[in-house]
Structures are given as C-alpha cells and as structure tokens.
Amino acid sequence: MDRLDNTIRPYAWGSPTAIPHLLGTEPTGEPQAEMWMGAHPGAPSRTGRGTLVEVIDADPEKELGPAAVAKFGPRLPFLLKILAAGAPLSLQVHPDLEQAREGYADEERRGIPVDAPHRNYKDANHKPELICALTEFDGLCGFRDPLAAAGLLDGLGIDSLKPYVDLLHAHPEDAALREVLTAILTADPEEMSRTVAEAATACTRLGGAYAPYADIAHHYPGDPGVIAAMLLNHVRLQPGEALYLGAGVPHAYLNGLGVEIMANSDNVLRCGLTPKHVDVPELLRIVRFRPSDPGVLRPEASPDGEELYETPIDEFRLSRYVLPEAGGAHDLTRATPQILLCTAGTVRAGEHDLTPGRSVFVPAGEKAEVSGTGTLFRATVVA
C-alpha cells in the first residue's frame, strides 16, 4: 500500500474550517474546498514512489490489474475527494459519454484551446458522480414537478415571475421546463437582476422552503441561477446518505462536508451561480428535462460488513466499513485498484495507521487487511 499525500484545492466556495477540523489541523483562514485523492493530472496524489500518475504510468497492469486496464485503459478511472462546501457551488450538468466525445472532438476541430474560458469539454469522458454526506449536507438535484415549481415561484408574489408560472402549467412537462429554463437564462440581464433582488427579499421574509434560495441569492446577487435553482429539488442529506448525479441532471451542492467520487473528467456545463462561461445552447442540448425524485441513497449492508452505495456505472464503486471496537480484521483484497479513506476513528490498513482524512492507494491484487475502530470508505472500480 502507498500512503497518499493529497492536494487541497482553495476554491472560493470552500469552508475555511471543515477540512481542517476533519484532519485535526489549524485553519489557515483561507477556504479549503476539496481534497483530491487519485491520479488526476491537475493534482495527483503523491506517494513514496512518486505521484500516483507516475506510479501507474510505470506499470499500469501491475497497479490497476489487467481487467481494469482492458476496460478503462491505463489510467485510474475515478477521482475521490473530500468536499467541503461553505457556499453554493455552480448550478451545473454533466454530459453522457457520447455527448462528451462529440463535444470534445468538435472543440478540438475548431481549435479552441483546452484552457480557454469558453471551452466546454476538457476531455472526451463523462462525469457521473456520487456525494456521500459526512455532516448534514444541502444540495439541489433534478427538476421538481413543474406544478410544484410553479407554486414555489408564485408564492413569492413577484409580477415578473408570472410568465414563468404560466409556462410551468403547460404540457408536456419536459417542454415546459425547457422553455422556462431557456427564458430565465436568456432574459435581459438588468431586468433579471431586479427580479432576483426582489426574489431574495421575498425568500428572506418567507423563510421555510424559501430559506435555501435566500442563502443562494446572498452569495450570488442578481444571478439568474437563483431563479433557475427554484426549479430544482432541494434535498438535505443526513450523515451516511448519498446522492448519485447522472448525465444531464442539473444539480448544485450548497453546504456541508462529504466524500465525493466521480469518473475522472472535468466536463461541466454551467447553468448559473457562477461568474464563469454559460453556453446556453450547449447546456440545453445536455440537460434532461424530466422531473424526478432526488433519489437519496442509503448503503446496502453485506454479511462481511461492507456497506455499498449502488450506482449504475462501472468507473467507480464506493462503499464504507463502520468498524466496531471489538471487531476483528477485514480482508479487503481485490483484483482492482483501491483507495481507502478514513473519516472517523483510527483504522489500521496494512502497516499504515489512518486517522480522519488520511488515505492509502492499494494496487490491484495487493493484500489489504484493515482493523481498528472507525469509519473507512473504499473506492474501487467494477471490472
């Protein structure tokens, strides 16, 4: 096993205290948004053998296993993170695999630099993801029923929102949602800014179901994404609960600490709550305009103590072990690569003692015996 030394990303929306509190370190006063564990070229984990990218590149089949290399190629197909949201992240969607390949090839043909601010596709991969709450965790996920969204907007009592309310009563539902989101994102910026300001005041006054949107408007004054966010389901996860975000599902994380795992991609189409580029035509091509339940996941326990978060994709598989004080050792050896992350207590993984926030990389097939008292997340692949 390789103990991992991981990079913390200081994005502006990050909590200045949540990750330091987990790690038992002093806050720096700066935001600490994400800690990355994996072989993403932007911030690969470091080991005693070099970066995890260098370790895998030196012998992919040894580190990843023949089955994983045959299925995903000579790279680790997932990225594991600790995510600490102190403010709302951008409202966004991710493409499916075919859309990502088409979009990436098109931007390559047009010669758009990969680091250009208006570039949508950084790679040719999709980006399904899963967030598992370590604390209470607030987010937005998927479209509300259009009539419920209409009721929420109508309850603000703002004349400029009446056309959206009327549109949401139209049929079919997918066309109504598409038309309203398009209207919000293409509205006159000055008029929309005034509408958002009125909505922020009303949300603050009304509280209750409107409170999350008052907070969003506080962080993003005048942003049309504030109104777009009201089309989505608000969900509050309890520790141990999770959300799976598939292709085309609009979502945003609002507040809380969690373990996130995703396919190794940077492809994001933004809908709002951001100063970054919003490509409305491409966004509308990717979004799936279907009302849906957020689908809160709770882990399925197996006799050996593994609690698995079921998802429909193979690039990652996330589970956890809650190890009791009197428990014996667990053999986690697999023929696929693993990252083991401690989030509570002290867990012995091979020869490494893991405290909260500490992690190890386990090459495919390497003996992986764990013991101790605490909570351990296990990230691997299905191959």
With 0.85 as the threshold, say if the pTM is over it: yes
Q: Say if CB 153 and CB 230 are below 8 A apart.
A: yes
Helix axis angle for 173-186 and 146-154, nearest 10°, is: 40
Q: Which residues of the chain have pLDDT under 70?
A: 326
* pLDDT at residue number 151: 97
* pLDDT at residue number 26: 96
* pLDDT at residue number 259: 98
* pLDDT at residue number 326: 64
Query: What totals of helices (H) and strands (E) does the chain contain, helices first?
Result: 12, 21
* pLDDT at residue number 266: 86
Q: Say if CB 121 and CB 97 are below 8 A apart.
A: no
CB half-sphere exposure, 354, CA atoms < 13 A: 33
Which residues are paired to 131 by β-bridges?
243, 260
* pLDDT at residue number 325: 73
Tell me how far CA of residue 289 lies from CA of 18, 131, 232, 357, in angstroms. 34, 22, 11, 37
Q: For residues 200, 201, 207 and 212, what is the CA-based torsion angle, rounded to 10 degrees?
A: 10
Q: Say if CB 377 and CB 131 are below 8 A apart.
A: no
Catalytic residue numbers read: 270
* pLDDT at residue number 324: 86
